[in-house]
Amino acid sequence: MTTVTVRYFAGARAAAGRAEEAVPAGRSLDDLVAELAERHGERLVPILAVASYLVDGVTCHDRREPLPAGVTIDVLPPFAGG
C-alpha cells in the first residue's frame, strides 16, 4: 500500500494523540481531512476546520487534487502570539 505521512503540530498533536501517522495515498486533501476527523473524533474536528495544510512544505491550494504517495502533510492549527 502506498502512503502519505500526516504530521500534527501543537493543538492538533494533542487532539490526535500522536505526532504523526501514515495513511493511504491517492485521495484528495478534503477526503483525507474527513477521514482524519472520523478516525480521531470530536477533539480534532474543530482544529481540522481552521488548520492550514502544507504538502511537502508548500501550502495546498487545490484541496481536491489527489495526494501522491510519499508526500508529507503538515496539519498546522492557528498559533497564538506574534
Per-residue pLDDT tens for 25-72? 999 999 999 999 999 989 999 999 999 999 999 998 899 999 999 999
DSSP category for residue 65: S
Residue 77 phi, psi dihedral angles, 5° rounding: -70, 165
In 25-79, the DSSP E strands lie at 52-55, 58-59, 72-76
User: Do residues 20 and 7 lie in contact, with contact meaning Cβ atoms separated by under 8 Å?
Assistant: yes
Percent of all residues in the chain with a pLDDT value above 90, rounded to a whole number? 85
Residue 81, judged by CB atoms within 10 A of its CB (0-12, 13-18, 19+), counts as exposed
pTM of the entire structure? Answer: 0.91
Instruction: List the Cα angle 21/39/41 in 5-degree steps.
Output: 120
